[in-house]
Amino acid sequence: MTTAIEARGYARPDVLVSTDWVTSHLSDPGVRIIESNEDPLLYPSGHIPGAVQVDWARDLNDQLRRDYLQKPGFEALMSRIGVTPDTTVVFYGDKNNWWATYAFWVFHLFGHTNARVMDGGRAKWEKEGREMTREVPTYPSTSYEAPARDDHSIRAFRDQVMAHIEAGRPLVDVRSPAEYSGEKLHMPEYPQEGALRGGHIPGAKNVPWARAVNTEDGTFRPSDELRQIYQQEQGLDPNADIIAYCRIGERSSHTWFVLTYLLGFPHVRNYDGSWTEWGNLVGVPIEK
């Protein structure tokens, strides 16, 4: 049995809500439930009643440049899904909330911090036999004014990563051990992984993102277990300037969420260029 969120010792327990909480807020006009998945078929196959979909590729990314949407695009998205600056948005999704935390992170780039994540994600909701629907809701459009995107506080770019390495500061590579070691790019018949070189950014610790969740129900591990992984085992200093990365920044947004909100580390950034950028850059150092 999973321990109640409030009893897990998180720095910010308020950013997580339970499936019970969501059930009791299905009709709350101040709450917008948002599903974000990797698999594009999941939301149309059934979702939490009243939930809207925010698609990482279509809704959160610029369709031309490799970048996230800009302020006008974010405002249009929020208007379309009927969200105001006062709305509490609750994210959930597949892959143990991997994409939900990615959307959570992008919303934070635009200052929409009135956001929560449903612990256990879509899999837990389904496993508990809770109501699902194929009905796609519509909400009255809103007038939403967002601040300019903040790319400094929680986002890191390649030059900053280079300076970070040179300063000997910590990085967390949240990919699988095979990706971290560079083995994966060399295995026969593997699909194109989008990088010319395998390996990891020098000095990065390898903590696969999924270690932060309980395998049986996808809920987040309690803080003592998370501290054991990130602090005792990997030696991360909670007060250090930390950069997390993966392949395109989605898995590392999950780790960013864990370190920032569940453990309370104050200086964590997500390098969304991640390995698809670093593994293709000319002349940058790589370790295997």
Partner 1 sequence: MASMPDALAELVADMETITDRTERADLLIETADRFDRVRVKPEVAAKPYPESHRVPACESDAYVWAIDRPDGTLDFAFDVLNPQGLSAMAMAVILAETLNGRPLEQVAAVNSEIVFSLFGRELSMGKGAGLMGIVSMVQNEARRRLNAAS
Point out the residues that are catalytic.
246
Cβ 116 vs Cβ 17: under 8 Å = yes
Please state, in angstroms and rounded to a whole number, the distance separating the CA atoms of residues 166 and 45.
48
Q: By the criterion CB under 8 A, which residues form the site for partner 1?
A: 38-42, 44-45, 55-58, 94-95, 122-123, 126, 184, 187, 189-194, 247-248, 250, 276
Q: Which is nearer to partner 1, 146 or 207 (CB)?
A: 207
Q: Which is nearer to partner 1, 219 or 260 (CB)?
A: 219
Closest approach of Cβ 247 to partner 1, in Å? Answer: 7
Closest approach of Cβ 231 to partner 1, in Å? Answer: 28
Please state, in angstroms and rounded to a whole number, the distance separating the CA atoms of residues 93 and 43.
9
Please state, in angstroms and rounded to a whole number, the distance separating the CA atoms of residues 79 and 112.
13
DSSP 137-178: P--------PPPP--SSSEE-HHHHHHHHHTT--EEE-S-HH
Please state, in angstroms and rounded to a whole number, the distance separating the CA atoms of residues 67 and 73.
12
Closest approach of Cβ 182 to partner 1, in Å? Answer: 15
Q: Which is nearer to partner 1, 190 or 285 (CB)?
A: 190
Q: Which is nearer to partner 1, 87 or 274 (CB)?
A: 274
Q: Which is nearer to partner 1, 137 or 238 (CB)?
A: 137
Closest approach of Cβ 9 to partner 1, in Å? Answer: 29
Question: Could you tell me the CA-to-CA distances from 60 to 104, 113, 171, 178 in Å, in that order?
Answer: 11, 16, 25, 29
Rg of the Cα trace of the chain?
Answer: 19
3-state helix, strand, coil in the chain (%, to 5): 35, 15, 50
Please state, in angstroms and rounded to a whole number, the distance separating the CA atoms of residues 238 and 230.
9
